[in-house]
Amino acid sequence: MPPHPRTRRLDGVARATKDHQVHVVVMGCGRVGSQLARTLDKQGHSVSVIDQDPSAFAKLGPGYSGGKVVGIGFDRDRMNEAGIGQAHAFAAVSSGDNSNIIAARVARERFGVGNVVARIYDPRRAEVYERLGIPTVASVSWQTERILRHILPPDPLEEWRGPAGSVSLFEVPLPVAWVGERVTKLDRETGARTAFLARYGAPVLPNEETVLQADDALHVLLLAERREATLAAIAAGPEAH
């Protein structure tokens, strides 16, 4: 089965387009995987689901228009069939911890997928895998919206625009790739100017030592002529060194 038709136009450039359509590969079509896939599909994203059991795809319902791939989720051929080469994100949400981690590592290390999240039943393992750079969702936190927050690009909101329209203030949810980096690095690499952060509902004025944390919301000043490029750079994450 070839990749979903919408996959072909979702290359690295399209990942940061205005409509934010992306291609996502989901491993596991259980309760969480099927809900995640349906949500992505309804939002207009391209999605393919991999599951060993063909009958599991019935959970997707008649309205689902994405891809369905039968097989082992960490098998490279099946991942290719699901369009992993064009994927913005990979979510491993099967019923097995080991399978999820193997698949997540293959997606990241073999195929270079930047946004990867794995569902983990054993919370004690979660911290170990977080150290490997793979965000995890433990059994107590299976909510679909948390996984979506990890894998979808940010949706910036313009809060203020200068009288001449040359500069604007945007609220931008922080992509997980920036977690653990300094605010100064984000500003330097993207061209943004971080005015303040919203952290746990309170404003934080950053300094040279401020490190970005999960669930921070960025409030950044952007020049009009660089707006799209800067937002794309934020969404892309830190430069590789």
Question: Is the Cα dihedral 229, 232, 234, 237 positive or negative?
Answer: negative
Strands (E), the chain: 23-27, 46-51, 67-70, 89-92, 115-120, 136-138, 157-161, 167-173, 193-199, 202-204, 217-223
Cα distance between residue 236 and residue 20, in whole Å: 12
Look at residue 195 and tell me if it is in a domain. Answer: yes
- What CATH number did the domain enclosing 204 receive? 3.30.70.1450
Q: Which residue has the tokens 């930047």?
A: 114
140 with 35, same domain?
yes
Residue at 230: amino acid letter: T
For the whole prediction, is pTM greater than 0.75? Answer: no
Partnered with residue 199 across adjacent β-strands are: 202
Look at residue 12 and tell me if it is in a domain. Answer: yes
Q: Which of 120, 115, 75 is nearest to 96 (CA)?
A: 120
- What CATH number did the domain enclosing 94 receive? 3.40.50.720
185 with 89, same domain?
no
Q: What is the pLDDT along the chain (241 residues), one digit of tens a residue?
A: 443 333 322 333 233 333 568 899 999 999 889 989 999 999 899 999 999 999 999 999 999 999 999 999 999 999 999 999 999 999 999 988 889 989 998 998 999 998 888 887 776 666 666 666 666 665 434 446 556 656 665 567 788 888 778 899 998 888 889 999 999 999 999 999 999 998 877 899 999 999 999 878 899 999 989 998 999 999 889 986 4
Range(s) of the domain holding residue 170: 157-236
Look at residue 241 and tell me if it is in a domain. Answer: no
